[in-house]
Structure 1
Amino acid sequence: MKARLFMSVAAVAVLVTASVAAPKLNLKGVKCVMNAKAAAKAKSSADFKGGKVYFCCGNCAKAFATKQKDPKVATAGNHQLVATKQVKQAKCPLSGGKLNASTKIKVQGAEVAFCCNNCKGKASKAKGADQLALVFSDAAFKKAGFAVPKKEKK
């Protein structure tokens, strides 16, 4: 009897710890990767580059599975990873240079920093799909060192 009680308490403690340790996902204002006019929903997601991308429906999730290597789709996925704060930025997405905190701007809802005001200005001047491609293409994503933070071992 004591063993069951102990196991029950231990199980509850593990669940509470896991729910407290997991960062809360906020999809407010986040759009579906495949349909930019629709809101992303937590119930429809796919694994992507160590994080998760979210969709408005299951059909978009299926379409993403077959098209995620398409540059426009990958760019939208990269943008969403940044917008949902699942990845951390290490360098400038344009030059690969050291980040300057005073250059931080929002690019279609996602916070991004640059190495200098020249790169910031270039990103600010671009609009729409051109701006997304400039800052979140696979090449820019890699150059910026965006990555899902490693989980701490306990």
Structure 2
Amino acid sequence: MKKRTGSTLLVAGFGLVFGLSVAWAVEVSGAKCPVSDGPAQEGSSVDYRGGKLFFCCNKCPQAFAGNQAKYATQANLQLATTGQAQQGKCPISGKGVKENTALDVGGVSVTFCCNGCRKKVDGAEGDAQLDLVFSDKAFDKAFTVSSN
């Protein structure tokens, strides 16, 4: 009887560990390294804002750690791209969002509280547009990160 109980606990424990590792899996396909803009790899990552930030190589985490402010917008974008960050509020105003205001920003569907905020972001281009939505200030207003 004790053998069976031990085996049952071993199998249950393995199932729990396996289940948790699957639940924490993040899809990095299509994600870009926040430092080099190259394809992100699962083998090179650091903890960031309660999620995982992925890099293209083992050198980029050091560059990121040396100047997080420089790479924050791209890092926050990656959290959203990989599904670790979910939007709940407008990145401009911090107010609730309306579904009919969606705009693609860096490959992420972003919604706003009103068409005025949407227009502000839509009128910006490139890095300026990304900064409006994914800078630390905007990200803190609008997104929450699921724990890894």
Aligned length: 146
Quote the offset at 1:138 in angstroms: 1.1
1:73 is aligned, of 49, 71, 74, to 71
Q: CA RMSD in A?
A: 1.9
* Residue number in structure 1 paired with 2:95: 97
Query: CA–CA distance in 1 between the matches of 2:86 and 2:129?
Result: 19
1:84 is aligned, of 77, 82, 85, to 82
The 10-residue stretch of structure 1 (9-18 or 114-123) with the greater mean CA deviation from structure 2: 9-18
Contact 2:35–2:71 (CA under 8 A) maintained in structure 1: yes
Matched letter for residue 65 of structure 2: A
SS of structure 2 residue aligned to 1:57:
coil
Structure with the larger strand share = 2
Unmatched 5+ stretches in structure 2: none
* Residue number in structure 1 paired with 2:116: 118
Query: CA–CA distance in 2 between the matches of 1:18 and 1:47?
Result: 17
1:106 is aligned, of 85, 96, 104, to 104
Following TM superposition, where does structure 1 have runs of at least 4 consecutive aligned residues deviating by more than 6 angstroms?
Answer: none
Query: CA–CA distance in 2 between the matches of 1:75 and 1:122?
Result: 18
The share of aligned pairs that are identical, in percent, is: 42
Does residue 1:147 correspond to 2:144, yes or no? yes
TM (norm. structure 2) is 0.88
